[in-house]
Amino acid sequence: MGNFSFIKTDIDGVVIIEPKLFGDSRGYFMETYNETAFKEGGIEAIFIQDNQSKSSKGVLRGLHFQKTHSQAKLVRVISGEVFDVAVDLRTGSKTYGMWTSVVLSAKNKKQFFIPKHFAHGFLVLSDEAEFCYKCDDFYHPEDEGGLMWNDSAIGIDWPIAEGMKILLSDKDQKHPLLKDL
C-alpha cells in the first residue's frame, strides 16, 4: 500500500496503520492520510472533521460513541503516549461487546482506524499526550452515547500503573454498562 502498512486486528474492520517514515539528518516526513491508499487498504471512510485534545497522565476519555450519527475515526498521537481502545457495538456482530487496543505514541507513529458503531476511549500513559482524530461525520452533542470504561462484562485490560490516578470527566463517570445500552 505504498506509504502505509494496514494491520488487521481480531475485530473485523478495526485496523492499525503504520505509516512509512522518510528520514534524514534534518528529521522526517510521513503521510498521515491518503484517500487512495486507505481505500486500497480497505478503509472507505471519507473524513469531514478533524479534532485534537491534550490530556495529562491518568486521564481516561471514554468510552464514547454517537447513537444515530455514528462516526468512523482515524486516531493518532502527536506527542506522548496513550492506550487506545475500540469496543464493538455493531448489532448482530459476532464480536459484539469485544474490545481491541493499541498503544499510540509520537514515537511509534501508529494510527488506529475505528469503524462506525464502536465505542472508543483512551488512557494517557505519558506525562501529557496530544491526540488527533479524523471523523467521517460531524459531532452531534445531542446524540452522544457512552459506555462505562471499567465494565467487567467487557473486561478491558487497561494498563494502569501502580499508583496511577484515573481522571474521568463527570460525564464519563456516569455511563451505563453494556447490558444497559
Query: Which residues are known catalytic residues?
Result: 64, 133
Grid look-up 485490560 returns: 157
Q: Is 150 exposed, middle or buried (0-12, 13-18, 19+ CB in 10 A)?
A: middle
Cell of 181: 445500552
List the alpha helices (DSSP H) in 29-176.
35-40
Q: Where are the alpha helices (DSSP H) in the chain?
A: 35-40
Rounded-to-integer distance, Cα 138 and Cα 116, Å: 13
H helix runs in 28-164, sequence order = 35-40
Handedness of CA 115, 121, 127, 128 (dihedral sign): positive
